[in-house]
Amino acid sequence: MSQQGYVATPPYSQPQPGIGLSPPHYGHYGGPSHAASSPGMIKPAGPLGAAPPGGMLPQGHPPPGPHQFGQNGAHAQGPPPQRFPGPPPVSSAAPSYPPYSPSTQSSYPSPGSSASMAQLGSQLGAMHINSYGSGAAPPSQGPPGPASAASVQGPPQPPQPSILQPGSQVLPPPPTALNGPGASPLPPPTHRPDGLPGPAPPNAQYQPAPLPGQTLGPGYPAQQANYGPPVAGAQLSYPGGFPGGPAQMAGPPQPQKKLDPDSVPSPIQVIESDRASRVGQVYATNARGQIPPLVTTDCVIQDQGNASPRYIRCTTYCLPCTSEMAKQAQIPLAAIITPFATIPSNETPLYLVNHGEAGPVRCNRCKAYMCPFMQFIEGGRRYQCGFCSCVNDVPPFYFQHLDHIGRRLDHYEKPELSLGSYEYVATLDYCRKNKPPNPPAFIFMIDVSYSNIKNGLVKLICEELKTVLERLPKEDQEETSAVRVGFITYNKVLHFFNVKSNLAQPQMMVVTDVSEVFVPLLDGFLVNYQESQSVIHNLLDQIPEMFADSNENETVFAPVIQAGMEALKAADCPGKLFIFHSSLPTAEAPGKLKNRDDKKLINTDKEKILFQPQANVYESLAKDCVAHGCCVTLFLCPSQYVDVASLGLVPLLTGGTLYKYNGFQMHLDSQQFLNDLRNDIEKKIGFDAIMRVRTSTGFRATDFFGGIYMNNTTDAEMAAIDCDKAVTVEFKHDDKLSEDTGALIQCAVLYTTVSGQRRLRIHNLALNCSSQLADLYKSCETDALVNFFAKSAFKAVLHQPLKVIREILVNQTAHMLACYRKNCASPSAASQLILPDSMKVLPVYMNSLLKNCVLLGRPEISTDERAYQRQLVMTMGVADSQLFFYPQLLPIHTLDVKSTTLPAAIRCSETRLSEEGIFLLANGLNMFLWLGVSSPPELIQGIFNVPSLAHVNTDMTLLPEVGNPYSQTLRMIMGIIQQKRPYSMKF
Amino acid sequence: MATYLEFIQQNEERDGVRFSWNVWPSSRLEATRMVVPLACLLTPLKERPDLPPVQYEPVLCSRPTCKAILNPLCQVDYRAKLWACNFCFQRNQFPPAYAGISEVNQPAELMPQFSTIEYVVQRGAPSPLIFLYVVDTCLEEDDLQALKESLQMSLSLLPPDALVGLITFGRMVQVHELSCEGISKSYVFRGTKDLTAKQIQDMLGLTKPAMPVQPVRPAQPQERPSVSSRFLQPIHKIDMNLTDLLGELQRDPWPVPQGKRPLRSTGVALSIAVGLLEGTFPNTGARIMLFTGGPPTQGPGMVVGDELKVPIRSWHDIEKDNARFMKKATKHYEMLANRTAANGHCIDIYACALDQTGLLEMKCCPNLTGGYMVMGDSFNTSLFKQTFQRIFSKDFNGNFRMAFGATLEVKTSRELKVAGAIGPCVSLNVKGPCVSENELGVGGTSQWKICGLDPTNTLGIYFEVVNQHNAPIPQGGRGAIQFVTHYQHSSTQRRIRVTTVARNWADVQSQLKHIEAAFDQEAAAVLMARLGVFRAESEEGPDVLRWLDRQLIRLCQKFGQYNKEDPVSFRLSDSFSLYPQFMFHLRRSPFLQVFNNSPDESSYYRHHFARQDLTQSLIMIQPILYSYSFHGPPEPVLLDSSSILADRILLMDTFFQIVIYLGETIAQWRKAGYQDMPEYENFKHLLQAPLDDAQEILQARFPMPRYIHTEHGGSQARFLLSKVNPSQTHNNLYAWGQETGAPILTDDVSLQVFMDHLKKLAVSSAC
C-alpha cells in the first residue's frame, strides 16, 4: 500500500508577493516553450488530436527518477518544468520541479522514515488528530484563503505511485491570490503554464451569466476562471487555504518552492487509467468487497450476487472490524444508494419475483428479504439469515433440496437466490390500508401570474404538454400509460379544471379560499389522457388566452402544493405535482414569504439562515405530502429572489426535483426548459416509497441524506423516487465485525409502479471487513467519499456556520491522510505527502467541494443559486456529483471529426485553456463553450457559421445546425454528455 | 248589521285593511277590557286594477317628526293654499306645483275615493330585478332533471333585462361565472367553512383592490357593473349560456357511502348568495331562490349529521332538548336573514323532499325577508312545478306580482300608538311619537321592512289606544291611521302606496252596542290567531292554548248575554257568534298543534299563516267543506263528522290540501262503473263537479295545495277526518245511533263539548 502513496512536498504556503496580481507571472502561451503538460489540448492544431488520451498515459514509462516530472510530461511532451523558467513568480511555478519518480522506493528516501513520520506526527498531533476540528490554525498556515493554490494540473499522471520530492517544495499560492480571485485583474492571457489558479472565483463557474463566448475578446479577464477554479484542485494547497489544514503536507517550511501543478495527482489521469483498464470489460459482482470501476468508466456490469454499483456504491468496500479502527481512520462508512438507477440496455433489467399470495420470504426476526446471503441448512428445510443469524423454517411452498455444496438446486432459477438486485411483487399487506394502490397521477400546476404570461412561459408549457403527455411513463409491456393527469392554474387563487372526457368544453373551478385549500371536484379532475385528449387540448389552448390580460402579480405557493396533495388524497392515489412557478409567494396565504435575501449575512454565523426555510408551513406540508405519496417537482423561473431555500424544501423532502431557470427568457431558456420537462415526465419513477436499509449485525445505518423524509430513524420515506435520486446512508459500528462473514447490506424499497402495482425492490451488497487499516484504505472509493462529504456538509449548512464546516472537511481529509501515512505508508520524508492510491485525487476533489458556492459565500452569487445547488447535491448520485464538482473540460479544437469518441478530457483548470483552443466545459448543470481569442476561424465557421469570433452571438444557447463535420460532431458530443444527466444542461 | 258588513267589505276592497274593531273604544282602559286588541289586517299591495298610480311624489307634512302624507282626511284651506296635517295638526303650505288647487280642482290624493293612492317616484336610476338561483345538486337524478327543466323554463319567464345568477351546492358550493366563453368557470367554496361577507367578496374578487386616494373618478362607475357582472348577468345576454349550464348540471359527484346522507352545504351556499348580493347590489330588489332536496348536513347551518341512522329532529326531540344542531343552525340562518333583510333582498326556499329539510331552522330566511316557502315531496311533482311557475305570474299590466325592498310606515293620530306587526317583516327600529311601549308581535318601531311582497301578503298590525279615560274624545271624533309603503315595483319603478283610514271613536260606557256591532269577528279571529301563532314560536304549545282560551272566555264574559252561573242562558250576538268556533278550530289547527306534524311542517304552515290575507287565513283556521249530492246543488256544510255521509262527495279546502272524498255509496257506484254508463250520466257529472271546483281553487292558489282524491275508507281520508269536528267518535257513536255521519277515532273534544265548557266558564263568576 505504501508504495502506492503519493508523496508530495508539503506545500508550504509562502506568501509570494503579488501573486495573482502581477501580470508578469502569467506567461503567454504561444511561446515555444509552452509545451503545456498536455500539449494536445493546448495546441490548437488539429494534428495534435492525434495524441489521444492514451498517448498521454505514460503507463509503463516511468521517467527517470531524478528528473523532475519527466514522467509527467509523458513521452510526448517536453519536460514541463523547464518550461516555466521565465515566470518564476510567485505562483508556485518554481522552475525546479519536484522530482517525480515513478516508484516511491527508488525515488525518495524511505517514505516511511521515522523522521518524517515523527515530524508529521508532531505537527498533526497538535492540531488535527487529537484536536480534530478544533480549528487551531496550524502555524504554517497563513491565509485562510480557501482558494486552491496552485491549480496544479499535471499532465496525465502515471498510474504508478509518484512522489514529490520533498526537496522541491511546491509553494502553495499565497493567500492573497487565493482570496481575492475576483479582485485580481488577470491580464488577458491567463494561460499560465504553471497553472497557478490565480484568482479564479471559485464559484463563478456557476454563474450562468458570463458565457464563455462573451469573454473571448482580448480583454478576456478572469472569466475563464469560471471553468477552472473548481478544478484547480490543488490538493496540496489547502493547507494554505484552511486553517488547521492538512498539516501533513506542511512539511519543512521551504517557502521558496512551489508545488508543481502538474505533479499533483490528476483526476483526469485517474479516470482515464481506470477507463483504460476496464472499459469494455464485464464487471461481475460475484465477490465480496470488490471495488467497482469508477463512475466515469463505461463497462458492462453483471449481477452475480451483489447489487450493481449503479445501485449501490460505497465509500469503502472493506469495513474496519472495530469502531476504534473506524474512529482512527475517520473514513466515512457510507453507501450511496440509487435504487432506481437507469440500467444501460446491454445489462439485464431487474427480474420480478412473484410468490403470489404468500408474499416475499423474509427472516422472522430481522425481516430481511430472501437473498443470496441466506444460508440454507438441514437439507433445505431451514435457512439461516445472513443478517441476524436467526434460523428460520423454509415455508413449504419454497422448499427445495440442496446440492452437494449446500446450495439449493434452484439456485440459478430464482433471482432472489442468485442476484444482488431483484424485485418482488408485494402483497396487500404491503399496501396502504391493505388495498391495492391506484395508478399514480400527474398534476400540472401552472403559475399564470402576469410575469409568466408575459414571458410566454405559460404558452410554452401548454404547447409542450400537448405532445409530452403522449409519453407518460408506462410499464414496458403496456400499451398506454395508466398515469392520470390533472391541471391546475393559479396566481393568487387556484383554478381547477374539469376535463372529463364527456364534456364538450373544460370546466374551470376557482378556489379562492387559499387559507384552507380543498379540492372542488373529484370526477373529471384526474383523467386518462387518451380518453380526454380533446378536452385537454381544448383546455391547453385556452389557458394562455384565458389569462392573457391578467395583471395579477401576486402568487401563492403552499396552497398550491396543498391543493395538489389534497387532490391526490381525494383520488386515493400517489402522484407527482409539476409546479411551474416564478415568483416569491407574497399573496396572503399560508406559506407567504418575505424577501429576506441579505448579502450581509454572508460569511457570518447567521449565514445558515439563508439556507433554512422561512416558514414552518413547508416542512409540515412536506410531511403531509410524503404521507400521501405526493411528490413535488418544481420548475422555477424566477426573475429575482424567490427564496429557493423555502420553496425547494417540499420538492427536496418529497423526492421531487427542483429546476431553476434564472430570468427565464423564451429564446434563451426554452430549449433547456423543455428538455428538462420532457425528461422529468418520462423518466422512470416509483411512488409512495419507503426505503429501509438492513445490515448484518455489528453495524447499522445511522444517517440518511437525500430527497427523503424520515419519520423514524430507520425508514426513509419518499413520496416518489426516480432514476436520478440517490440516498446516501452512513453506517456506524454497533459491535465488532468479523473478517470471515464480512458485512452485508440489504436495501429494500417498497414502492408503487407507474401502473399502480406495489413492489419491493431489493438491493444486496456484501462488503469485506478487515482489521488492517491498509485494507481499508485500499478499498476506498473517492467519488463516493466526495458524494458523502458533500451531502453531509450541505446538510450541516443549515445548522452550522460555513467556516466550521469547511474546517471540519479539511480536518477530516487531513486526518484520513495522516492516518494513512502514520499507519500504512512506508516511512518517508516528513515533507512528503503520501496519498493512498484509492484516494489519490481526494484532495483535488475536496478542494473543489470546498470551493463550491454553497460552502463559500460570495456576494455575487445569489442566495437562491446557492440554495439551489445545495438542494441539487443533496439528491445526487455519485456520477452526478463527480461531474458536478469536477466538471468535464473537453478541448474541442482537437476534435477528430471522423471519430465518434469524445476527445480526451483535460484537467479542469484555467491554466489548461489556450487562446487557440475551443473548449467545452460541462458540470451537469451547464455547458460552456469557451472560444480562445485566436481560435481557428475554420472551426468557428464550422460551428457557428459565422466568419470570425467577433461575429459569434454570445447569447445563444443552442448551436446552429450547420451541416459540416465540426458542427455535427460537436453537437453529437454534447448529446452524449447530455444523455446521462438528469438535468438538461444550459449551454 | 248589514251596513257594517258592507262597510267592512268596502273598506277591505278599497284599502286592503280590516280592523278587529271598526268603532274604536275611546280610552285606554276600555280598550284593554275589550280583550281583542284594536288591530288590523293590512294588505299593503292589494291589487287595485282600478287604481292607476299617479306620476308624482307625495306631499309631506313639514313637521320633521310627522311627515305624514297629504290625504283626503286633511283639512285644506284652498284660498290660503294651506293644508292641516290630520295627525299632528301642523299647517303646511302646498308646494308650488299645487298652485292651481281649488275645491273643484283637487289633486287625487284629496279625493275621498283615493284613501289609498300610489305614487311613482321618479328619482334614482331603475335597477334591474335580480334572481339568484341557489341549487342543491344532491338530488336524485330525476328530481334534478325536473328541477333543471323548471329552472330553464323560468328563464323564459323573466324579463330580459333581469339579472340572473347561479350558485350550486352539494359538498362544495360553486358560484358560476356566467360571462365566460369557451370554458365554464365557477368559484368553489368549501361547504364547511363559514365565511364573513367580506371574505366572500374578497374571494369572489368583488372588492376593488382598495383604490387609494387617486382613483380615476369617471372610471369607477363603469367598472362597478363589470365586476359583479361575472356572476349576475342580464338574462338576454346569457340565456343560452345559462340554459346550457343548467342542462349540464350534474349530481354532486362526491360519493355518498352506504348509510350516509349526502353532504349538503346549504348553510354556506346561502351565506355566499347573501354575501354576493350584499356586495354587489345592496338595496336593490333581488330574490335568492334556494332549491333544496334535503337537510343541510355539514358546515354552518347543518341540521342533521350525515349518519342516516340518526334521524332528523322531531318535535319530541326538541321538547326533550335533544336537537343538537337546532340552536346553532337557527342562529346561522337568522343571522343571514337579518343581513338579507338589511340589504333589502329576499330569500325563497323551495324544499322538496320526503323527509324534513330543515325548514324549522331556515324558516326565518323567508319569514324575515318576505320570501316564499314551498314544501313538496319532489321537484318532479306538479305541486312544485306549478307553484314555481306561479311565482312568475303576471298581473293585468304584465308585471310580476312581486315587489321588493318595501318599507311599511305606520302613522297614527295621537290617541293611538302602534304596538307591533306580525307578518313577513323585520323591524326597522324607528322610534317615534306613535310607537307604543307595549309590544305585540314585532314592535318598538313604526317602520318595518318587507323585502319581498306580493299582492296578497297581509300583515297584522296591532295598536294601542292611549287616550286616557279622563280625557274623553268629543262625540264624532275620528282616529286616523296612515300606512305608507315604499317599495320597488317589479317594473323596477320605486313607488309609494299610501293608505289613510279613519274610524270613529266611541265611548264604551255609552256606546257598547255600537262597538259590539262594529266587531269584525273574522278579522279578530285571524288577528288573535296570529298573536297565538307568534307566541307559539317562542312558547310552549299548552301555554299558548291556555292564553287563547282565557282570552276567549274573557271575551265571552264581556260581550255575552247571560245570567250568572247559568250556562244555558248564554247568548252571543251575531257579530260574535262565529268567533268561538274559529277559536275551536284554531286550537286544533297545525299552527298550534304540533302533534302529527314534523317541525318542518309546522314551520311551513305557520309561515303561510303569517302572510296570507284574511280569506285564506280563515280557510286555514277553519277549512271549508262542500258537499255534492243528488239532493241539490253543491253546498257548504258544517266541518263536522256528521257531514260525512255515504251518498255525498265532499270537497274540503284547508288551504294546504284539497281533499275530495267520496262517500261510501258513491265510491261503490264508481267502482261499479256507473259513471261510464250513458244512462247514469248525471252520476258522471256529479263525480266531475268537485273535480272542476277543486281545479279552480288549485289554479288560483299559491302555493299549490296538495291535491288528494280519496274515498270512504281510503287511507288518505285521514286528511278529512282529522279536520272535521269530531261530533261523533268511538265514544259517543252508539249514543247517537247510526243515523248519520262517520265516527272519528279520537279523544279530542268536539265543538259541542267545547262550547258547553265555554259557556260554563263564561258564566261562572270564579273566572
d(CA B515, CA B148): 56
Q: What is the pLDDT of residue A521?
A: 83
**Which of B187, B195, B298 is the best substitution to test chain A (most A C-beta atoms within 10 A)?**
B187
B187 vs A505: CB contact, 8 Å cut-off?
no
Q: What is the DSSP string of B88-139?
A: T--EEEPPGGGTT--SSS--GGGSGGGSEEEEEE--S-----EEEEEEE--S
Q: Which three cell numbers stand for residue A345?
A: 440496455
Mean pLDDT within A848-877: 86
Q: Does B193 touch chain A (CB under 8 A)?
A: yes
Nearest residue on chain A to B176, judged by CA atoms? A509
Residues in chain B with CB shorter than 8 Å from the CB of A524 are 253
Q: Which of the two residues, A245 and A644, has the higher pLDDT score?
A: A644
Q: Does B200 touch chain A (CB under 8 A)?
A: no
Nearest residue on chain A to B202, judged by CA atoms? A512
d(CA A859, CA A857): 7
Q: What is the pLDDT of residue A108?
A: 39
Residues in chain A with CB shorter than 8 Å from the CB of B186 are 507-510
Mean pLDDT within A793-797: 90
Q: What is the DSSP string of A763-794?
A: EEEEEEEES-HHHHHHTB-HHHHHHHHHHHHH
The beta-carbon neighbor of A513 closest among B184, B186, B189 is: B189
Residue with cell 286528511: B719
Nearest to A970 by CA among A934, A950, A945: A945
Residues in chain A with CB shorter than 8 Å from the CB of B248 are 503
B185 vs A509: CB contact, 8 Å cut-off?
yes
What does the buried/exposed string (b/e) look like for A902-918 if buried means 16 or more CB atoms within 10 Å of the residue's CB? bbbbbbbbbbbbbbbbb
Nearest to A190 by CA among A236, A213, A223, A234: A223
What is the Cβ-side half-sphere exposure of residue B177, based on CA atoms within 13 angstroms?
23
The beta-carbon neighbor of B188 closest among A510, A539, A546 is: A510
Find out whether B290 and B134 touch, Cβ atoms under 8 Å. yes
Q: What is the pLDDT of residue A952?
A: 72
Q: Please give the share of chain A, as a percent, with pLDDT higher than 70.
A: 70
A364-376 pLDDT per residue, tens: 999 999 999 999 9
Residues in chain A with CB shorter than 8 Å from the CB of B172 are 518, 520-521
Is the pLDDT at A244 greater than 60? The verdict is no
A359-418 pLDDT per residue, tens: 899 999 999 999 999 999 988 899 999 999 999 999 999 999 998 888 898 988 889 898
CA angle A589, A590, A596 (to 5 degrees): 95
A473-494 pLDDT per residue, tens: 888 777 888 899 999 999 888 9
B183 vs A518: CB contact, 8 Å cut-off?
no
The distance of A591 to chain B (nearest Cα, Å) reads 18
B253 vs A496: CB contact, 8 Å cut-off?
no
HEC secondary structure over B470-524:
CCCCCCCCEEEEEEEEEEECCCCCEEEEEEEEEEEEECHHHHHHHHHHCECHHHH
Q: Which of the two residues, A792 and A47, has the higher pLDDT score?
A: A792
Lowest mean pLDDT among A968-972, B383-387, B643-647: A968-972
d(CA A185, CA A180): 10
pLDDT interval class at A956 (50, 70, 90): low
A508 vs B254: CB contact, 8 Å cut-off?
no
Mean pLDDT within A426-439: 88
Residues in chain A with CB shorter than 8 Å from the CB of B203 are 493, 512-513
Mean pLDDT within A596-613: 82
The distance of B342 to chain A (nearest Cα, Å) reads 26
For A198: left if phi > 0, alpha if psi spans -120 to 50, otherwise beta; the answer is left
A636-657 pLDDT per residue, tens: 988 888 888 899 999 999 989 9
A523 vs B253: CB contact, 8 Å cut-off?
yes
A152-171 pLDDT per residue, tens: 343 434 344 334 333 333 33
pLDDT interval class at A635 (50, 70, 90): very high
A513 vs B254: CB contact, 8 Å cut-off?
no
A542 vs B172: CB contact, 8 Å cut-off?
no
Spell out which chain A residues touch chain B, with contact meaning CB-CB distance below 8 angstroms. Answer: 493, 496, 503, 505-513, 516, 518, 520-524, 538-539, 542, 546
B244-294 pLDDT per residue, tens: 889 888 888 888 899 999 999 999 999 999 999 988 888 888 999 999 999
Residues in chain B with CB shorter than 8 Å from the CB of A503 are 248
A542 vs B190: CB contact, 8 Å cut-off?
no
d(CA B548, CA B103): 50
A521 vs B253: CB contact, 8 Å cut-off?
yes
Is the pLDDT at A137 greater than 70? The verdict is no
For B7, the 3-state DSSP assignment is helix
Q: Does B231 touch chain A (CB under 8 A)?
A: no
The distance of B247 to chain A (nearest Cα, Å) reads 12
CA angle B86, B87, B91 (to 5 degrees): 60
Q: What is the pLDDT of residue A961?
A: 67
A512 vs B204: CB contact, 8 Å cut-off?
yes
Is the pLDDT at B351 greater than 80? The verdict is yes
d(CA A208, CA A928): 9
Does the CA dihedral A849-A855-A858-A864 come out positive or negative? positive
Mean pLDDT within B739-745: 67
Report which residue type is found at B10.
Answer: Q
When mean pLDDT is compared over A68-77, A128-137, A190-199, A529-538, the highest value belongs to A529-538
B189 vs A521: CB contact, 8 Å cut-off?
no
Output the average pLDDT for chain A: 73
Q: What is the pLDDT of residue A887?
A: 85
Pairing of strands B345-352, B373-376: parallel
- CB-based burial label for B99 (10 Å; 0-12, 13-18, 19+): exposed
Q: What is the pLDDT of residue A83?
A: 42
Q: What is the pLDDT of residue B207?
A: 65
- CB-based burial label for B655 (10 Å; 0-12, 13-18, 19+): buried
Q: What is the pLDDT of residue B19?
A: 94
Q: What is the DSSP string of A523-588?
A: TTTSEETTTTHHHHHHHHHHHHHHTTT--------HHHHHHHHHHHHHHT--EEEEEEE-S---SS
d(CA B191, CA B265): 5
Mean pLDDT within B181-191: 85
B510-556 pLDDT per residue, tens: 888 888 889 999 999 999 999 999 999 888 878 899 999 999 999 99
Q: Does B223 touch chain A (CB under 8 A)?
A: no
A522 vs B253: CB contact, 8 Å cut-off?
yes
Phi, psi at B214, each rounded to 5°: -100, 40
Q: Which three cell numbers stand for residue A17?
A: 508577493
The beta-carbon neighbor of B183 closest among A518, A524, A542 is: A542
What does the buried/exposed string (b/e) look like for B51-64 if buried means 16 or more CB atoms within 10 Å of the residue's CB? bebbeeebbbbeee
Nearest residue on chain A to B171, judged by CA atoms? A520
Residue with cell 386518462: A528
Q: What is the pLDDT of residue B102?
A: 86
B393-448 pLDDT per residue, tens: 888 888 888 899 899 999 999 889 999 999 999 999 999 888 999 999 999 999 99
**Which of B138, B180, B183, B206 is the best substitution to test chain A (most A C-beta atoms within 10 A)?**
B183
B586-630 pLDDT per residue, tens: 998 999 988 888 999 999 999 999 999 999 999 999 999 999 998
Task: Name A259's Cβ contacts closer than 8 Å, sequence gap at least 6.
Answer: A8, A9, A11, A92, A98, A149, A150, A152, A164, A169, A170, A171, A172, A234, A236, A237
Mean pLDDT within A798-814: 89
Residues in chain A with CB shorter than 8 Å from the CB of B185 are 507-510
Phi, psi at A113, each rounded to 5°: -55, 145
Q: Please give the share of chain A, as a percent, with pLDDT higher than 90.
A: 21
A513 vs B172: CB contact, 8 Å cut-off?
no
B188 vs A521: CB contact, 8 Å cut-off?
yes
When mean pLDDT is compared over A213-217, A851-855, B339-343, B761-765, the highest value belongs to B339-343
Is the backbone peptide bond immediately before A85 cis, with ω within 30 degrees of 0?
Answer: no
Residue A608, beta-bridge partner list: none
Rg for chain B, CA atoms, rounded: 28
Residues in chain A with CB shorter than 8 Å from the CB of B254 are 522
Residues in chain A with CB shorter than 8 Å from the CB of B253 are 521-524
pLDDT interval class at A984 (50, 70, 90): low
Residues in chain A with CB shorter than 8 Å from the CB of B196 are none
Pairing of strands B163-169, B130-136: parallel
Q: Does B268 touch chain A (CB under 8 A)?
A: no
pLDDT interval class at B734 (50, 70, 90): low
Q: Which of the two residues, A981 and B684, has the higher pLDDT score?
A: B684
The distance of A511 to chain B (nearest Cα, Å) reads 5
A520 vs B185: CB contact, 8 Å cut-off?
no
A906-925 pLDDT per residue, tens: 777 777 777 777 788 888 77
Q: Which of the two residues, A6 and A678, has the higher pLDDT score?
A: A678
Stated length of chain B = 767
Phi, psi at A635, each rounded to 5°: -105, 110
A505-564 pLDDT per residue, tens: 888 988 888 888 888 888 889 999 989 999 999 999 999 988 888 888 889 999 999 999
The distance of B174 to chain A (nearest Cα, Å) reads 8
A505 vs B183: CB contact, 8 Å cut-off?
yes
The beta-carbon neighbor of B187 closest among A505, A512, A538 is: A512
pLDDT interval class at A9 (50, 70, 90): very low
Sheet holding A382-384, edge to edge: A375-377, A382-384, A391-393
Q: What is the pLDDT of residue B291?
A: 95
A516 vs B193: CB contact, 8 Å cut-off?
yes
Nearest to A891 by CA among A938, A849, A939: A939
Nearest residue on chain A to B193, judged by CA atoms? A516
For B45, the 3-state DSSP assignment is coil
Q: What is the pLDDT of residue A922?
A: 80
Q: Please give the share of chain B, as a percent, with pLDDT higher than 90.
A: 47
Other C-beta atoms within 10 Å of B507: how many? 17
Q: What is the DSSP string of A85-146?
A: -S---SSS--SSPPBEESSHHHHSS-TT-HHHHHHHHHHHIIIIITTTT--PPPTT------
Find out whether A257 and A171 touch, Cβ atoms under 8 Å. yes
Output the average pLDDT for chain B: 88
**Which of B166, B186, B223 is the best substitution to test chain A (most A C-beta atoms within 10 A)?**
B186
A493 vs B203: CB contact, 8 Å cut-off?
yes
Is the pLDDT at A734 greater than 80? The verdict is yes
Mean pLDDT within B380-388: 91
Q: Which of the two residues, B407 and A974, has the higher pLDDT score?
A: B407
Find out whether A653 and A620 touch, Cβ atoms under 8 Å. no
Nearest residue on chain B to A514, judged by CA atoms? B203
The distance of A438 to chain B (nearest Cα, Å) reads 17
pLDDT interval class at B148 (50, 70, 90): very high
Dihedral through CA B423, CA B426, CA B428, CA B432, nearest 10?
30
pLDDT interval class at A596 (50, 70, 90): confident
Is the pLDDT at A1 greater than 80? The verdict is no
Phi, psi at A803, each rounded to 5°: -60, -45
HEC secondary structure over A244-290:
CCCCCCCCCCCCCCCCCHHHCCCHHHHHHHHHHHHCCCEEECCCCCC
* pTM of the shown model: 0.77
Lowest mean pLDDT among A181-185, A576-580, A683-687, B689-693: A181-185
**Which of B171, B178, B181, B188 is the best substitution to test chain A (most A C-beta atoms within 10 A)?**
B188
